[in-house]
Amino acid sequence: MGANFEEESLVFNTMTKADGEEVVAFMASHFYPREPLSTGLHMTYEDNKEWIHGSVREWSQSGASVVAREKTSGKIVGTLLATVLTKEQSSTFDEAITSPKIKVKTLHTVLSVLEEAVDFYEQYDVTKILELAMITVSAEYAGRGIGKKLVQIAERNGKELGCELATAQATAIPSQKMLERLGYESQYTMDYESFEIAGERVFDMDRMLGTPSAKVMAKRLVEPGTKSSGDKCSKNPNP
């Protein structure tokens, strides 16, 4: 597992621990300024910084995450952070729950609602799930199919790790449309305008970048009753 995939001027690699800090910096520049949950909660990268480092460190070692780089310069142009979930380890965003910051706790609450909205283990009768946690492509490389390639490689990695289903909390219209084209189906919708915590609406709709709702989406990686290629996997296998 973990083979490289080359396409034109780019190379796609399974992410490793060594990519961690570079990926964090890439996310700060390209993900958070364009992600509706962050903008709608008026969160800056500094708000996210304290918890995202630990999460990126964990996801980069999952064996499923993918990074796209320019062949010549080695510059990152796209990332997909993914992890493997089981019934025993079914939460992705644990790093955010310990934050003392109100905005981060609010974000964690929103993400937890999305992550717990559907019992995929019961609904799909699976034991291992590939969760696509965060995906982003730099603006200069948008529209070249890089996001699609990142998802396809992550799916291949997930199958090799023994995952039967792929899921995602798609919080922005571009990711929702891309995943739909790749065969993902919406299982739950969170309306941003009406979503409340303790009776109070939390999102500034003027800052939601035109996205009215988040969608929890899923796609089978293997047919029911079919074994995936991996004979074992855990949340954090060594890359």
Domain ranges of the chain: 5-220
- Domain 5-220 is found in CATH 1.10.260.40: no
* Token pair listed for 24: 């964090």
Q: How far apart are CA 220 and CA 127, in angstroms?
A: 12
Question: What are 136-184's pLDDT values in tens digits?
Answer: 999 999 999 999 999 999 999 999 999 999 999 999 999 999 999 999 9
Q: How far apart are CA 235 and CA 133, in angstroms?
A: 13
- Are 170 and 176 contacting, i.e. CB atoms less than 8 angstroms apart? yes
Question: What are 68-121's pLDDT values in tens digits?
Answer: 999 999 999 999 999 999 998 877 666 556 667 888 889 888 988 999 999 999
